[in-house]
Every structure is written in C-alpha cells, then in structure tokens.
Chains A and B, each alone.
Chain A
Amino acid sequence: MLSMPSYAGGLDLTELGLQEILDLEITSVARRPVDPNTDAGAVFTITQDDIRSSGANTIPDVLKLVPGVDVAYIDNNSPAVSVRGFNRRFSSKLLIMIDGRTIYYPSMVGVAWDQQQLPVEEIARIEVHRGPAGSLWGANAVNGVINIVTQHAVDSYETLVNARGGTDGNYRIYGRHGGVIGDMGAYRLYGSLRETPALEDNDGDGITKDALGGQLGFRVDVEPNDRDAYSIFGEVYKYKSEMALDLYRLDFPQKQKIVEDVKADGAQLSARWVRTLSEGSSLMFQGVGEYVSRSEIDKDFKVSQKSIALETSYYFHLMKNLTILTGAGLSVTDIDYDDGVDISAIRDDVTDERYFGYLTGDLDLFDGRLILTSGFRLEDDKYTGTVFEPTARFMWQAPYDWKVWGALSRASRTPSFPERNQELYVAGLQPMSYINPSPLPAEIIFEGNWDLKEETLIAYEAGFRKSWSRDFSWDVAAYINDYDDLIEVQFFEMVPVFMMHPVTNTQVPVSVLQFVKPVNDISSVVKGIETSVKWQLSPDLKLSMTGDIRDYERLEVVDPLGIGGLTVQKSPEYQFGLKADYQYNPKLDITTWLRVVGDLYNTSDQGYWDINVRTGYAITPEIELSVIGENLVRSKRESISSLNFLPGTRGHIPRRVSLQLKAIF
C-alpha cells in the first residue's frame, strides 16, 4: 500500500469529504496514512453512512457492497465470505482484522463468521484490500485483507439505542453510551443481542432452534497531547445455534437428520499506543490478549484458543521522497482440544509461536507521478517454518489524472492445526447419493496430515482509477492468481465393515470405512476483473455500481467423498450490484439496492438476483424510523449448503421486512 503525501506537505484538505476530514487524525489500521485514490492496489472503503443506507444487519451483509467479495449463506445462521473465489464456511484465504486484531483463528482454519458479534453501528469504516497483502499482513492474507475500524470514542458522544425486528422473527437490539474524559479523550460502552430464526424445511417446519448471540464491549481513546494517542478495546461475546447435517447414525435403519449444537464464546482486551514523532513519522505499539472457544458437530468436542500478540511498527521519511514502514511482532497461541466421540485431536494441547518482521518502502519519483513500492515480510512459525512474502508495486499518475497501477506478489497460507492435527469421524453418509456413490453407507475417518506445507500464490495485478471531479469515479482491477500446493482432502484407504446377519448367520457388508487426509495436491489459476463506479448525480442522488467476473483454470476437484471442500472452488462466476441513495428531503432518504449473483462454479447452485429497499425517516434529529425490505424478489431462496465442510441441510433466505427505531438521548 502506498502512503498519501503529507497533508502539511500540500494535500488540499478541501478536496476531501466531511467524513474523510473527521477521520484524518484517526489512526488507520493500515499502520500509516493511506489514500485509497493513490493506493497501488484494489482497495474499496465502506463508510458508516454506506452501512446505514444499505440496511445491512451484519458484517457479511455489509461486505456485499464490495466488488470481488463473495458472501453466501450456508444456512440461516452461517455466512461464508471470500475474496476472489475459494468460498467456504470458514474463510481460509482471507485475513480479517478488527482494529488491528486478527480474527483469523488457526484453531478453526479461518474466520468463523457466525460467532462474530460486532454490531455494525460500532464500525467507522471497512477497508477491503483485494489481492495478496502478505508482505504487510503476513500468512493467510492470500486473497485479501478486510480491515474493520471501529468508531473513535469521540464519535459516540451520546446514548443511543437501535432496535430492529423483522417479519421472519429476526430481531436485534443495540445500545451504547459514550462520554468524554475531560478534553483529552472519550469512552464508549456498548451491548447487543441478536436472534436469527431457526432453519426450516420446505414445508416451513422448524429443524433447528433460533440462533442467539450477544456481545458487550468498550473502547477508550485518550490523547493527552499532540503526539500521543492511546486506545483500549475490550469485548466479551457468546453465541449459540444449531446445525442440521445430512447424516445418519448407522444404528438407525433410516436416514436421520442430525442436529448438533454450535456454541462459541470469546473475550479480548487490546491496547494501542501511537506516537507521532515528526511530520509524516509515527510509531505504533499494540498488544492483544484473547480467548476463543467453539464446539460443534460433537457436543463433547471443544477447541479453545488463548493467545497473546505484541506488535510494533515505525513509519518515517528516510529521504524526502522515500518513506519506510517497518515493523515486528510475535504471537503465542495455546490451543486445547476437548475430545468428543466423533472428533478428537492427535495432540490435545498445542502451543504455537510466531515471529515476524516486515519492511516496505515507497519511492516517490517525478513529483509524485510515479510511486514505486517494494517490500517483504518474513514470518517464522514454530510448526510450519519460515514464510517469505515479497511484493513489488507501482502507481503511475498518467496524463489527464488517470492513475494506473500494477503489482507482483507472493503470498501463502500456512496449514492450520485441524488440517495437521485433527481426527474426525463422520458417521453415515447416505449411500447412492452424490456425496457417496457407493451402495453402502460410508463412515469417514479424517486424519490430519502433519507433513502439510504452505499453500502458495503468485499474483499478477493491474488496474486503473479515474476521478472526474469528486462527483464521478471509476475503478478497475484485473488479476491473474496462480496457486500452487493447494490443500485438498483425498482418500487413501477403504475398508468394508461386516456384521453378522441375524437370519443367514453370515458376515455381510454394512458400511464402508473410508480414510481420508488433506494433501498439497492441487494447482489452479484464477483470472478476474472487478470494477466499481461512484456517481454523485446531484446533491441528493448518489449511484454506486460494482461488478466482478472471474474464470478458473486447471482446478481439478478431487473430492469423490464430498467431505472435502477445503479448497474446492465454489464461488459465483460473476456478480453485479447497483445501489441508489436518494435524499428526498432533509428528513426522508431512500436506498434501493439491486444485486445479481451468477451460478456457483463447480456446484449445482444457481445464481439469483434480488432487491433490497431501505427508507429512513428522521422524526426528529434524535429519532429515526426505518423500514428495510430484503430479498424482495421472491418469498424465499435456497442457501448454499455446499459451502459447508460436511453435507448439511439447505436453509432458506426469506423475504423479510424489518422495522428499525433508532433513538439518541
């Protein structure tokens, strides 16, 4: 990423929007000032105003605003999010940060979106960097980085309650209270509770219970002088739902829906100190302590993760036209497994240690018309060894203010503990089904592979952007992602299971035990183009258009048992979005949002199109009433169950009309 020129050094602040000016002094999680307009990469920023107008209730729903980001629902409660393909339940090739703290949990092979309970009202902006960013962010920032930045405590100087309920039984309540600490800082306390309706079958009968999640949190910002900024963040959360699997126990003669509990909880406390050393130079320290646990599929199985992470970065001008960003850090993660009947760990307790350092330089040539960026990151993991992730980028300010950029990067995903360490028993895959073509029921034994190595990506990216005044901008990014050593599950042994027939008194085969394990066995090339257009037609009307299309080569899916899916490509071939925000009068605003999602590659899941409409009416400056219609085209559409790593029951995304009341006291 490139830095914007020093503000004091000449950037015209009046060219910025109101929100951008207010954010000037807020430390970006990008660790240095970043201007999306001059960034040599595919960057898309979502503001709090975008979130509010979209009517989105959860972070995954908000991310539907971004081109190249695939958001799908496996069932009513389990979103799957990916950037540039490879979607699956736990996003594995995507790094998600909240205020500089990663929520990529190695114990879960990615990001468990369902248990994330951060209320959308807490968010100031979301910076989505599509494409590899491993040179700055490290392993797992393979296909992209999503930086979620919560609001500075100064911006919640109020008591606010936001309550919402929908026709499908979905409800959510959020409340916060903020105040100032003298003239040097501010604080905010918040809490939220969300209930999502149960999974229903085609007849509308409930299969699972409603999902319930809640979070309490706080943020304190103290800036006692012009050079020091201290921030402290904390949260605790709890989540509970159920998951319905298309499996059956072998002691039952008939297929039986297995409904298992999903329970998760967590807590984190983090602190950050930013010191401004001189104009365009700053130093950042951050420390995070976190606890996360999750249990699913098997009620006795639970994985708990405790971690401590320390990090520092230093941003400075080495020369007038050369800025350097360097940093280092370490993390220690302790993972405990409580074995269950169906899932167990080869090693019950694992302590991982990770150390990293990075260095990136931005060289400004020809008065800012050409900016060259080069950098690398070295990361050493106790179990997976050393990873080297370099990048080289350029941004050329072409004639007529066209900004053209290109990048060549290497990124990697290190194998997670479950892939290397876990044993999993999956009972009763239906015979003669698409996931088990054999005439006998299949029992699957998944064995972790301690010899797995990293998945790698070499990415070639290019793009351009152009602004015609502040009212119209166009952004295009194209990429070729060349993956190697992708991890996929393959079976290596099959053993028939015999039982004594009670009548004939002979041994008869009753099932097949299939042993599978993950291996580095797939390479693939993904090519794609993404675009976004923002057009402020008038002071009252704004149009936003996004689109992406991608193509896959050499992706051989070796997944005859259907329980793989660790890397299987199941993302849409294209997506399109058109959002219109209209301020009818100072009190009434209307947003209409059309989305078109193409067929999912490599599955029978078909694409769809849909429309959301939100109308907000400010009864007084302190009270706003909104009506939000979602999925208005049809009464319900099927979710994408194939994104789960076990065969599950399809949910339905219903048409929903919600009423929301926001009050400020």
Chain B
Amino acid sequence: MASFSNKYMAVASLVGLAILAGIPDAKAGEYKDEDIRAALIFNILKFTEFSSPQTQNGQFNLCARSSDDIWSSLKALDGRSAGDYVIRVQDDQANPTMSIACDIAYISSDLPASRQNQIIKSSLLTFGETSDFIQKGGTIEFVKIGRQTRFKINQRITQSKEISISSRVMKLAMAIE
C-alpha cells in the first residue's frame, strides 16, 4: 500500500480539535442530576426491605414537593413496582398536616428546617441533598463531587427504623455512617 504521506494531517487534526474545544455556549452534561437521583432512589428501593410499612395494600408513599426540581423525575416513578411494593408519589405541599403517611420522603435543601425535622421523624426512609443531612437524622444523603453523584447511608437510622438495605447497595455507598 502506498505510504501515508500526509502524516501532518494527523497533527492538523489534533490542532483543529483543540480549537474546537474552545467553542462557546457549551451545555451542561448529558444527564440531569434529578433524573440520576430519581433512578438511584428507584434502585435503592428495589433492594430495601421494610419490616413495617406505614402504607397498606402493597404500596409505598414517596413524598416530595411539587415545586422541587426533582419532582417531575420522581413523578415518573408513580405506579412503578420496586420490590414487593408499588410506588405512589405524593405532593408534600398538598399534605401540610401529614394526613397521608410518607413511607419515603425526598427532602430538598430549601425545605424549612422545622419541616425537614418533621418529615425525618415521621418517615421510614428519607433521601436528602444537604451536606449535613445524615447528621440531622436523615437516612440517605446524596453527594455531588464534580459531575459525580454518590450517596452516603446512615446505618444507625436504618437499624432503628428496622430497614434492611441489601449489601449490594451498601457496597456502592460512598460512606456508611
């Protein structure tokens, strides 16, 4: 085969693509954080057992605020089966007196502290995104480092609320506290 004489083409390509890297208006990463967190919640629920769920008829109530960014991602889980239960997503803002029991709750960072504490105490399993969520008694805390989303687990709470999270999930936790 004839020699590939234009080796400078390769070098030129390197330079050309380097210039391309400077293209402005670059958008964010391909995946929405909220979709990733909702998918993680769904997977964790599949590997979690509750000794005494508050909701009957084989359903879970997953509570979150409809004004939160994650709401639409969580709402997409409504009616999906996780383990032995069907997930029902409830709007916390329409439930100020907690008349609907929340088995699981997603607590966003801008929720007032008093409401956070109220939900943490009344729910079996809570997911949160503030840096001290576990210290406040939350169960699973999402952590964002760079573009990576990871989670920490509060084992003291899982034991006190008699929740069994599979070792498959525990192994992937960033920290177990």
Contact = CB atoms under 8 A, between A and B. Distances in A.
Q: Do chains A and B interact in one complex?
A: yes
Interface of A: 6-8, 13-14, 16-19, 21-22, 24-26, 33, 49, 152, 154-155, 157-158, 180, 183-186, 221-224, 226-227, 229, 275-280, 283, 285, 310, 312-314, 326-330, 353, 355-357, 378-380, 385-388, 539, 583, 586-587, 589, 618, 621-622
A91 B77 CA distance: 48
Contacts of B149: 22, 25
B167 A226 contact: no
B4 A355 contact: yes
Contacts of A224: 146
A8 to B, nearest CB: 6
A226 B147 contact: yes
Interface stretch (B20-28, B56-64, B132-140): B20-28
B30 A280 contact: yes
A185 B20 contact: no
Given A185-B146, A275-B26, A330 B167 contact: no
Contact of B145 (A17, A183, A589): A183
Given A279-B30, A357-B9, A25 B147 contact: yes
A33 B77 CA distance: 25
A22 B80 CA distance: 21
B155 interface: yes
A28 to B, nearest CB: 12
Which 9 residue pairs across A and B have the least CB separation, nearest first? Answer: A223-B146, A380-B4, A328-B13, A13-B39, A386-B4, A226-B28, A355-B10, A355-B7, A328-B10
Interface of B: 1-4, 7, 9-11, 13-14, 17-18, 20-21, 23, 26-32, 35-36, 38-40, 42-44, 47, 76-77, 80, 144-150, 155, 164, 166-172, 174-176
B47 A539 contact: yes
Given A227-B27, A283-B17, 5 more contacts: A8-B30, A277-B20, A283-B20, A330-B11, A622-B176
Given A18-B40, A154-B146, A310 B29 contact: no
Contacts of A277: 20, 23, 26-27
Given A13-B38, A14-B42, A16-B39, A24 B2 contact: no
A19 B173 CA distance: 10
A388 to B, nearest CB: 7
A618 B167 contact: yes
B89 to A, nearest CB: 13
A357 B175 contact: no
Contacts of A18: 40, 43-44, 47, 168-169, 172
B17 A378 contact: no
A341 to B, nearest CB: 38
A117 B40 CA distance: 34
A380 B8 CA distance: 11
Contacts of A157: 150, 174-175
Nearest to A276: B29
Contacts of A24: 31, 36
Contacts of A313: 17
Contacts of B166: 539, 583, 586
B156 to A, nearest CB: 11
Contact of B14 (A14, A154, A310): A310
Nearest to A353: B7
A22 B14 contact: no
A276 B47 contact: no
A387 B134 CA distance: 58
13 contacts: A13-B38, A14-B38, A14-B42, A18-B44, A21-B40, A25-B148, A154-B148, A155-B174, A279-B27, A285-B18, A379-B4, A380-B3, A388-B1
B145 A180 contact: yes
B146 A8 contact: no
B2, B3, B14 interface centre (most CB from chain A within 10 Å): B14
B145 A587 contact: no
Given A154-B146, A539-B47, A226 B36 contact: no
Contact of A8 (B17, B32, B43, B170): B32
Contact of A49 (B80, B147, B171): B171
A565 B114 CA distance: 75
Given A18-B169, A589-B167, A621 B176 contact: yes
B9, B11, B26, B164 interface centre (most CB from chain A within 10 Å): B26
Contacts of A355: 4, 7, 9-11
A7 B21 CA distance: 22
Given A329-B10, A330-B11, A25 B29 contact: yes
A22 B150 contact: yes
Given A14-B39, A385-B1, A621-B176, A276 B10 contact: no
A280 B28 CA distance: 10
A223 B26 contact: no
Contacts of B150: 22, 154-155, 157
A356 to B, nearest CB: 6
A185 B31 CA distance: 18
A587 B168 CA distance: 11
B1 A8 contact: no
Nearest to B26: A227
A618 B148 CA distance: 27
Contacts of A221: 146
B23, B28, B32, B39 interface centre (most CB from chain A within 10 Å): B39
Given A226-B147, A618-B167, A278 B26 contact: yes
A386 B168 CA distance: 49
Nearest to A540: B166
B43 A17 contact: yes
Contacts of A285: 17-18, 21
B77 to A, nearest CB: 7
Contact of B27 (A25, A223, A276): A276
B7 to A, nearest CB: 4
B10, B23, B147, B170 interface centre (most CB from chain A within 10 Å): B147
Contacts of B76: 14
Nearest to A184: B146
A380 B7 contact: yes
Nearest to B31: A7
A385 B44 CA distance: 54
B168 to A, nearest CB: 7
Contact of A314 (B20, B40, B145, B146): B20
A19, A327, A380 interface centre (most CB from chain B within 10 Å): A380
Nearest to B164: A586
B168 A21 contact: no
A18 B17 CA distance: 34
Contacts of A385: 1, 3-4
Given A13-B39, A154-B150, A312 B29 contact: no
B31, B144, B155 interface centre (most CB from chain A within 10 Å): B31
Given A277-B23, A330-B11, A6 B30 contact: yes
Given A8-B30, A283-B20, A314-B17, A378 B145 contact: no
A152 to B, nearest CB: 6
Contact of B35 (A13, A33, A229): A13
